[in-house]
């Protein structure tokens, strides 16, 4: 497995994956898991709600093997990746 630098919005992750697309799908899963943690909190505990902003992905996810902000890399649409993630979860 290769090491990939994945970025989208405020999110910056270093992930091991077989392909850049697999790394991007892992980032979608990571973001989804973090948001689930927030919404599991009691309704009156809204201080953590602000943290959601740092765990949401933008419209695109950039993945490369050279580091954050590198000029080269793969760019994926977040909506497209979310549908791939749903397919993987259902097949799971």
Topology of domain 2-91 in CATH is ERH-like fold (3.30.2260)
Closest CA to 61 of 72, 75, 82: 75
Strand runs (DSSP E) across the chain, as ranges? 2-8, 11-17, 60-64, 74-77
13-72 pLDDT, tens digit per residue, is 999 999 999 999 999 888 877 665 555 566 555 555 545 555 578 889 999 999 987 778
CB of 50 closer than 8 Å to CB of 35: no
pLDDT reading at 81 higher than 90:
no
Mean pLDDT, range 67-90, rounded to an integer: 74
Q: pTM for the full model?
A: 0.72
Per-domain boundaries in the chain: 2-91
CB of 21 closer than 8 Å to CB of 76: yes
């Amino acid at each position: 497995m290769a090491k990939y630098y994945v970025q989208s919005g405020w999110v910056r992750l270093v992930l091991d994956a077989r392909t850049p697309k697999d790394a991007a799908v892992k980032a979608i899963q990571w973001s989804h898991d973090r948001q689930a943690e927030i919404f599991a909190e009691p309704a009156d505990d809204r201080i953590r709600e602000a943290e959601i902003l740092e765990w949401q992905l933008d419209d695109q996810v950039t993945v490369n093997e050279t580091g954050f902000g590198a000029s080269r890399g793969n760019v994926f649409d977040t909506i497209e990746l979310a549908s791939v993630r749903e397919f993987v979860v259902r097949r799971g």
